[in-house]
Structure 1
Amino acid sequence: MHPLGDAMQHLQLLARMGKHLGADLVEAFEAGKISPEDWAEMITSCRGCDAPEHCRAWLDSQERAEGEVQTDLPPSYCCNAARLLKLRDGDTS
């Protein structure tokens, strides 16, 4: 197991992924859809990922693809994929 990545960098990646997928994490937090513990767990999970450079590159490519074919699904290696999709789809269970 590798050491956890930088918290701020992974917070930014998580926020970017949420935004790309249509899951507004700040709004979800403020609305009580995710707790402080949920938020911390998502960031810690992201920090444990061994592919942050792939995530960053994937997000960059999606942002450059404005008006072109983009995907509304996260990459398969995203540790928070299921949670982000549930938030986007309004499922808070």
Structure 2
Amino acid sequence: MPDQEILKFHAGLVDQMATKLGVDLQQSAIEGDVSIDQLSDAVLRCTGCANPNHCQSFLQQPAQADQTPEYCRNQELLRKLQP
């Protein structure tokens, strides 16, 4: 299992990617659109990504995005949660 710092880093990437797509993960969880287990799984999937540096660059761009990069391992979940 990845160590705590890696998990924190990827949890941040998941949250930032959701925000970039206009998704509020906290609100989605409160409304029951996503479970805590699904969010945990999303972070674990993210730890297996081969492109975290490219992801960080993508997230630093100021414009909102309509979709994740093609390589995003959480593309399906985040698409489902988009408004």
CA–CA separation in structure 2 for the residues paired with 1:4 and 1:48: 10
Q: CA deviation at 1:48?
A: 1.0
Contact 2:20 2:65 in 1 (8 A): no
Is there any run of 5+ residues in structure 2 with no aligned partner, and where? none
Q: CA deviation at 1:71?
A: 3.5
Aligned residues: 81
Change (3 A) 1:4 1:49: farther
Q: TM-score w.r.t. structure 2 length?
A: 0.86
* Greater Cα radius of gyration, structure 1 or 2: 1
CA–CA separation in structure 1 for the residues paired with 2:26 and 2:47: 19
Q: TM-score w.r.t. structure 1 length?
A: 0.78
CA–CA separation in structure 2 for the residues paired with 1:8 and 1:71: 23
Shifted more, 48-57 versus 27-36: the winner is: 27-36
RMSD, aligned α-carbons: 1.8
Q: Percent identity?
A: 32
